[in-house]
């Protein structure tokens, strides 16, 4: 069996230590001092373990976790490019209750960290509601378009969910689960022309759940860009799904 290099290294250190103590014991003729320092050094071993295990390792673990979360925040950019922005824009376009959230996010490009904290607190307390304003004869088309969007991006969403680090980002994991549930609700309705008023009311609840979580993640993602990649936040603001007057083109 191949011996791990760490085991070899540890054995080597023990041999060197024994040789040094042996030299001091046999050649310096001071056995009392040798035993004294052995006891003193042994007394420091529990303290060393305490410092290494409880302090240093916890710091390293925290740094590693922060690095993982930063990578997940970068994945959010791909998520919003692939489906998030389109989904937000599609839902916002027909939401009659958008006035309040649009007002709240009006100057989001000038926010600091305290403004973002207030926004998260507001969302957790009040959320955002989805009350669609869709003509009755266009409901089936809206549901069909929504189903097509989710179904087309299903492989991409599955790949995200298979990322073992996603569980570290609880709010994003909950968003993905809510999206999969909405996708299942629509996919199992073989004939969307049969979606009536009562059935659509049930679907609205599922859309509302996705919309609230999606809004929260979009704001989190924008804060991440503002703090780390400000040049990318400019484009995100120019395609702001909550602003009906956004324009990707830069004008004077």
Domains of the chain: which residue ranges?
A: 5-58, 72-238
Count of CB atoms within 10 A of residue 105's CB? 20
- pLDDT, tens only, 216-238: 999 988 888 888 888 888 888 88
Confidence of residue 215 (pLDDT cuts 50, 70, 90): very high
Instruction: Answer yes or no: is pLDDT of 1 > 70.
Output: no
- Which of 206, 208, 161, 214 lies closest to 187 in space, CA to CA? 206
**Going along 161-218, which residue ranges are E strands?**
none
Phi, psi angle pair for 95, to nearest 5°: -90, 115
Q: Give the pLDDT score at 162.
A: 84
Structure tokens at 85: 């922005």
Please give the average per-residue pLDDT across 138-144, as a whole number. 91
- Which of 252, 248, 231, 240 lies closest to 92 in space, CA to CA? 240
Q: Give the pLDDT score at 97.
A: 82
**Left, alpha or beta for 127 (phi > 0: left; psi -120 to 50: alpha)?**
left
Q: Give the pLDDT score at 2.
A: 53
Instruction: Answer yes or no: is pLDDT of 16 > 90.
Output: no
Q: Give the pLDDT score at 3.
A: 61
Strand, coil or helix: what is 132?
strand
- Which of 9, 210, 194, 236 lies closest to 90 in space, CA to CA? 210
- pLDDT, tens only, 80-123: 989 998 999 899 888 888 877 878 887 787 888 898 898 888 88
Give this prediction's pTM.
Answer: 0.72
Q: Give the pLDDT score at 165.
A: 77
- pLDDT, tens only, 39-86: 777 776 777 777 666 766 677 677 666 666 677 777 888 899 899 989
Burial 220-251 (b: 16+ CB within 10 A, else e): bbbbbbbeeeeeebeebbebbbbeeeeeeeee
pLDDT more than 70, % of the chain: 88
Please give the average per-residue pLDDT across 185-206, as a whole number. 88
Q: Give the pLDDT score at 64.
A: 67
The DSSP code for 95 is B
- pLDDT, tens only, 143-189: 999 999 999 999 999 998 888 777 778 888 999 999 999 999 999 88
Q: Give the pLDDT score at 67.
A: 65
Phi, psi angle pair for 188, to nearest 5°: -75, -10
Task: Please report which helix (H) or strand (E) contains residue 13, including its range.
Answer: helix 5-27
Contact between 213 and 175 under an 8 Å Cβ cutoff? The reply is yes
Q: Give the pLDDT score at 76.
A: 85
Whole-number average pLDDT of the chain: 82
């Amino acid at each position: 069996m191949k011996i791990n290099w760490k085991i070899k290294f540890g054995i080597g250190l023990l041999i060197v230590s024994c040789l040094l103590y042996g030299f001091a014991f046999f050649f310096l003729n001071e056995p009392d001092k040798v035993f004294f320092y052995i006891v003193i050094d042994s007394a420091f071993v529990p303290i060393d373990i305490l410092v290494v295990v409880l302090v240093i390792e916890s710091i390293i673990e925290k740094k590693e976790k922060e690095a993982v979360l930063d990578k997940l925040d970068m994945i959010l950019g791909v998520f919003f490019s692939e489906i998030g922005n389109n989904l937000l824009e599609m839902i916002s376009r027909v939401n009659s209750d958008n006035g309040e959230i649009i007002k709240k996010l009006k100057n989001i490009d000038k926010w600091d960290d305290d403004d973002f904290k207030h926004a998260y607190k507001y969302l957790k307390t009040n959320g955002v509601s989805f009350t669609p304003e869709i003509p009755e004869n266009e409901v089936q088309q809206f549901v069909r378009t929504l189903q097509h969007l989710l179904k087309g991006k299903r492989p991409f969403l599955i790949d995200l969910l298979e990322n073992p680090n996603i569980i570290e980002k609880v709010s994003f994991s909950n968003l993905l689960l809510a999206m999969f549930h909405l996708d299942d609700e629509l996919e199992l309705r073989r004939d969307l022309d049969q979606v009536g008023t009562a059935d659509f009311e049930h679907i609205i609840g599922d859309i509302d759940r996705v919309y609230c979580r999606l809004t929260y993640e979009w704001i989190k993602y924008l804060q991440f860009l503002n703090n780390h990649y400000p040049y990318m936040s400019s484009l995100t603001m120019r395609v702001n799904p909550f602003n009906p007057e956004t324009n990707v083109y830069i004008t004077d």
